[in-house]
Chains A and B, each alone.
Chain A
Amino acid sequence: MNTPNDIKPNNDVLRQAMQRRKARRPIHELPEGFEDRVMERIKDIQIPVKDDSSSKKKGTVIRLWSLRTVGVAASIAGLLFVYNRMTISDGVVDNNNMMAKTEVVRQQPQRTIKTDASQPTKHIVAEPLTIKQVARVEVSQRHDTDERISSEQQEEKNIETINLEEDNLPDMMLSINDAERVMDDFMKQYEGIASVSASPVTEQEHNANEVSYHVMHEIAQNMNEFTKQHNNLSNGGTTYGY
């Protein structure tokens, strides 16, 4: 199809004919009194203020689209966050997340002990807490004190996460009572072996056993002494140098 320029040649016969027709037309001027008649008719017409409705509409549309874009972006971010959380709670977690959570759990016993130092420490000494127990206490305290966790669902997720990780945590903290109990077991085992042993024991073996027995007995006594002193300290007794 021809473009307008193609069908508008500079000076073909049709153009010449039209220009001749134009030249034949009389020069048109407005008749006398035309302007006054028009001015008379428009004098009572009030022109409205410049209509900016179209530009306002455009601005509104642009603003709406901006809000929609931001809303969609926020929704996507929210969905990704929820998806990430669901993946963790299912136990399919990457190593980075696992490490971060393990560190938090391991730090909790220290915070708990420091907090409880201002309270009577009898409870701590009588029932020393393992990492697992401290983690449970921490979680139960969170239920009461942590205002930032408002959602019950969020709390349940936290508990689930910690419980999953507890089974993999080693017992890293041995209490004094645990050490004492281990030592007592050792002494009982040693004495039992010595008393029921049917095989003849040489003098050298007997001497070695005697030395071992005395050494272990001395260690057990020291441990008992240490336990008593520690109990006194916890109950407001004298202070040691450490």
Chain B
Amino acid sequence: MITDDKTLIEHILAGETEEFRHLMRKHGGTLLAFIESLVASPEEAEDIVQEAFVSAFRSLHQYDSSIASFATWLHRIAYNEYLRHVKRRQLPTVSWDEDESLLRNADGTDDDSWMSEATEEQMARLDEAIDSLPEYDRTLLRLYYEDDLPLKEIAYILDSKDSILASRLRRIRNRLKNELQT
């Protein structure tokens, strides 16, 4: 069984469409978890991921492994599908500008260092603070800390710049730190 993404893609492009199942099995779970963290219901997440895979198959000939890994490329497609889904449903989202002002208010200190240990109570408060973050910031934190993706790949998925995301991430950290200390 072929597990290498590049080889699988070559086979699919050569006409072996069934090989696409392997790609879905390999990346489907991660993709579904990523989208489920963005939307409320699992059904919505499943629809978005399904659309994402169909779009990925349609655009498979445009995939360039020198730009991003296949998983990152899939995440980007899924995130775009999610944005399209939100637009279609006209779900309320936090705009970037509004979000920026919130983060600007959180800029209280340049000291970005964090303690290495915390009590259970502190961890619970931190968890609540993360939940209260805007959706975009939660996605950023998730991709950065949970999926351990480098900022460059996150910037590719979210269609942004890594320098902008680095700055935004620092502000999120400051905000959470302030929440924890109060």
Contact = CB atoms under 8 A, between A and B. Distances in A.
B141 A18 contact: yes
A34 B54 CA distance: 12
A16 interface: yes
Given A1-B166, A4-B151, A35 B54 contact: no
Interface residues of B, number: 52
Question: Do most interface residues of chain A lie in helix, strand or loop, or is the interface mixed?
Answer: loop
Interface residue range, chain A: 35 or more
Contacts of A188: none
Interface in A1-40: 1-4, 6-9, 11-22, 25, 27-31, 34-35, 37-39
Interface stretch (A46-54, A137-145, A178-186, A190-198): A46-54
Contacts of B85: none
A22 to B, nearest CB: 4
Max chain B Cβ within 10 angstroms of own Cβ: one of A4, A15, A19, A29: A4
A7 B112 contact: yes
B4 interface: no
A9 B173 CA distance: 12
Contacts of A100: none
Nearest to A23: B146
Nearest to A18: B145
Contacts of B92: none
Nearest to B127: A17
A58 interface: no
Given A12-B116, A13-B117, A20-B123, A4 B150 contact: yes
A45 interface: yes
Given A14-B126, A14-B145, A16-B123, A38 B50 contact: yes
A148 interface: no
A205 B146 CA distance: 135
Contacts of B37: 25
Contacts of A34: 24, 28, 46, 49-50
A9 B33 CA distance: 25
Interface stretch (B57-65, B71-79, B100-108): B57-65
24 contacts: A1-B170, A2-B112, A4-B169, A7-B112, A7-B169, A13-B114, A13-B122, A13-B126, A14-B114, A14-B173, A15-B145, A16-B123, A17-B126, A19-B145, A20-B127, A25-B33, A28-B33, A28-B36, A31-B46, A37-B50, A39-B21, A42-B54, A45-B54, A45-B58
Interface of B: 12-13, 17-18, 20-21, 24-25, 28-30, 32-33, 36-37, 46, 49-50, 53-54, 57-58, 60-62, 112-118, 122-123, 126-127, 130, 141-142, 144-146, 150-151, 162, 166-167, 169-170, 173, 176, 180
Interface of A: 1-4, 6-9, 11-22, 25, 27-31, 34-35, 37-39, 41-43, 45, 47-51
